[in-house]
Amino acid sequence: MTIPSIANLRQSYERASLGENEVASDPLVQFDDWFRQALAAGVPEANSMTLATVGISGRPGARIVLLKDYSFESEPRGLVWFTNYESRKGQDLAVHPHASLLFFWPVQERQIRIEGIVSRVSAEESDQYFATRPRDSQIGAWASPQSEVLRSRDELTAREAEFAGRFKDEVPRPPHWGGYRLVPDYLEFWQGRASRLHDRISYRLEGDASWQIRRLAP
Ligand SMILES: Cc1cc2nc3c(=O)[nH]c(=O)nc-3n(C[C@H](O)[C@H](O)[C@H](O)COP(=O)(O)O)c2cc1C
């Protein structure tokens, strides 16, 4: 078997540029602009994002979740995903509400880093989204004790059958399942450039409402 030469895997990024004078003064408007461009460019799973949290031990953990909503026109302004509140990430966020989100869109040679404070969305918001999910996913939310150790796959399918039998018609939202919203205080937009001299434009919230925009060295 041939071992691929990982050390020689490299890409030159030359598609676009990003200047401090061309970005929106509001980072969520800038996010909206890039997100729409990613969708239009056909970036696969453009709404998948890495969520990094820190647990009680101080160890960071990261996993992918799906961005399901973001609002920049109404308060609270932030990014929303849905999960099991009792999962490892749920336990982490209960002790350390600071988290980081990361998007990587290779088609456009772009990365967005977002940091901020996370809180649960309202029960009404979680109910509304849960009601739009396919029945299989709704049953799955009941069946999976996310992040817990299973004896076998059979245990999971048995739980699925149990809950499918219990909820014959409408499936209510499990109390341990719902949304989180990260309200950002730091964002960074990265555009790949030639010779590894990439563009990095950061936004930091200073005071309550004023975003400081700075260029960072790549
Ligand atoms: C493309 C993709 C999308 C995912 N979306 C979600 C999601 O929206 N919510 C979720 O809880 N887990 C999602 N997962 C699974 C998580 O990555 C993770 O395995 C799970 O949430 C358990 O993480 P935890 O044990 O750190 O809490 C997704 C995984 C992938 C690869």
Binned at pLDDT 50, 70 and 90, residue 162 comes out as very high
Give the residue from 185, 191, 197 showing the smallest Cα distance to 20: 191
Domain boundaries, the chain: 15-130+177-216
Q: What is the mean pLDDT of the chain?
A: 96
CA 45 to ligand 1: nearest atom: 1
pLDDT given for residue 209 in this prediction:
79
> How many whole angstroms from 145 Cα to the centroid of ligand 1?
13
Residue 1 has pLDDT above 80, yes or no: no
**pLDDT tens sequence across 121-157:** 999 999 999 999 999 999 999 999 999 999 999 999 9
Residue 63: the pLDDT is 98
Q: Residue 175 above 90 pLDDT?
A: yes
SS in 3 state form for the chain? CCCCCHHHCCCCCCCCCCCCCCCCCCHHHHHHHHHHHHHHCCCCCCCEEEEEEECCCCCEEEEEEECCEEECCCCCCEEEEEEECCCHHHHHHHHCCEEEEEEEEHHHCEEEEEEEEEEECCHHHHHHHHHHCCHHHHHHHHHCCCCCCCCCHHHHHHHHHHHHHHCCCCCCCCCCEEEEEEEEEEEEEEECCHHHCCEEEEEEEECCCEEEEEECCC
CATH architecture of 15-130+177-216: Roll (2.30)
Average pLDDT over residues 67-86: 94
Instruction: Please indicate, yes or no, whether the overall pTM of this predicted structure exceeds 0.85.
Output: yes
Q: How far is the CA of 81 from the centre of ligand 1 (A)?
A: 10
Atom of ligand 1 nearest to the CA of 66: 8
Q: Rounded to 5 degrees, what angle do the CA atoms 204, 206, 209 make?
A: 100
Q: Among residues 15, 166, 196, 214, which one is catalytic?
A: 196
Burial classification of residue 158, based on how many CB atoms lie within 10 Å of its CB (0-12 exposed, 13-18 middle, 19 or more buried): exposed
- How close is the Cα of 63 to the center of ligand 1, in Å? 6
Q: Is 135 a catalytic residue?
A: no
On the question of pLDDT at 85 being above 70, the answer is yes
Q: What's the rounded mean pLDDT across residues 25-44?
A: 96
